[in-house]
Every structure is written in structure tokens, then in C-alpha cells.
Amino acid sequence: MAKISPKSKAARPGAKKSKPGIRAEAQKASGGFTELEKNILLSKGMSAKQIEKLAAQGVQGKKDLKHIGDAGTLAELAALPPKVAEQVMSWALGLTATPAKDSIVVQAGDVVLCVHCNAKQPKDYKSGDLCGACGKQAEPIMACFWCGATGPGKFCRQCGAEFVPTGELELGILLKREGLPKHEIPAQLRSMSQAEKDSLWGRARRY
Ligand SMILES: [Zn+2]
Ligand SMILES: [Zn+2]
């Protein structure tokens, strides 16, 4: 009769729900690395244990990794395989994140400047168009080394040959006489050194 069911703990209205302190605790266990940094380190091939070890050595974040400065030291410090240490270090130093500078070069070759007034031609410019600023033909008229036709642009409209620089027209003609195929002559001229061109000029003058 006196046995009244003991108050169940679960029934207590004041029961504490999970507190938001747990995450912070977990973070503390592996040093000052943020969740993101930890995940990155894991993705670079480190184990959670190695991260803890690193933290125990006083490495508390990316900043400290930078301070270590090289993969060899890091590998020793955290007993990491060299390859993993290298990957971690190149991330910490930002080596992989740096895009090659010369990939930013904006197609300078596509910009056409008027040979008469130097005005930049619009995007929809086509070879042979007149300059919007001065009304003359924006590109120089080139002579074809192969068939002798003239016209603007990069290629001959008569025979399809790629124009060579005006100053090298005679060299192009000479190479044609010497039997080089049409499509190889412009490339040949581009690949020649100044000395080679000079000796070619010597031959060109004999004709
Ligand atoms: Zn112009
Ligand atoms: Zn031609």
C-alpha cells in the first residue's frame, strides 16, 4: 500500500535536453582546428588521430601549419607519410589554390586595332570591315606569298594561304619556290630564328 511507484526520472519536467556545448567539447579534443580545417585535413589523408597528435604538438590551425613551413618538418612532427604531409602543406601554404597568372591573359590576339587611327574595333568586327572611327579599312591589306592576291585579314581569300608578315613576304615567296607546301610556309617563318631569316634573305636577294 505504501508502495507508490517511484517518481520516474523521465517524468521530471525539468529534464535537461541536449546542450549545445558538445560540439565545442569535440572541437577542443583536436585542438584549435575548426570543423572545416579538420575535414580538409581528413580529405588530405590525415587520420583523426594524427590531427589530434598535431594539435598536441601545438599546431592549432592552418596558421600554425604555415608556420611549420615545409612538408618534411610536418611529417616528422605528426608522424605523417611524406605524401600526406606534402598535400597538407601545399593546402596550408595555398600552393594548389593559386591559379597560374598567365591563364588570365585576355585574348589579346583577337583585338583588332585600326592601322590608320588605332581605334579598337567592335567585337563583331570581321576582316575587311571599315573602321568605325575613321572609315578606312581597319586592317592592313596583305599580299599573299602564294598566289599574289591581296586582301585584309589573316588568310588569303583566293587560295586560303595564311598571310605572312608584310616584311617577310619575299621570304614566303622564296620558300614557295624552294618547294615548301603552302600551309607549312607561315609556320616555317614563325619558327625561324633571326639568323636563319638573315641567311634566307641572302638567298632571296639572288633571285
Ligand atoms: Zn580607324
Ligand atoms: Zn593566296
Provide the pLDDT for residue 153. 83
What distance in angstroms lies between residue 149's CA and the mean position of ligand 2's atoms?
5
Nearest to 132 by CA among 148, 153, 146, 118: 118
What confidence score (pLDDT) does residue 25 get?
46
For residue 15, what pLDDT is reported? 46
Contacts of 139 (CB under 8 A, 6+ apart): 112, 115, 127, 128, 152, 153
Beta strand residue intervals within 13-172, DSSP E: 142-143, 150-151
Neighbours of ion ligand 1 (CB under 5 A): 114, 116-117, 119, 131, 133-134
Q: Tell me the C-alpha distance between 205 and 14, whole Å.
A: 105
- Ligand closest to Cα of 176 equals 2
Query: In this predicted structure, what is the pLDDT of residue 110?
Result: 66
pTM beyond cutoff 0.85: no
Output the pLDDT for position 8.
Answer: 47
C-alpha of residue 153 to centroid of ligand 1, in Å: 15
- In this prediction, residue 77 carries a pLDDT of 84
> Could you tell me the residue ranges of all domains in the chain?
27-92, 109-139, 140-207
Around ion ligand 2, residues with a beta carbon closer than 5 Å are: 144, 146-147, 149, 156, 158-159, 161
- Residue ranges of the chain with per-residue pLDDT less than 50: 8-12, 14-15, 18, 22, 24-29, 97-98, 100-107
Q: State the ligand closest to the CA atom of 131.
A: 1
pLDDT at 4: 55
Closest ligand to residue 140's CA: 1
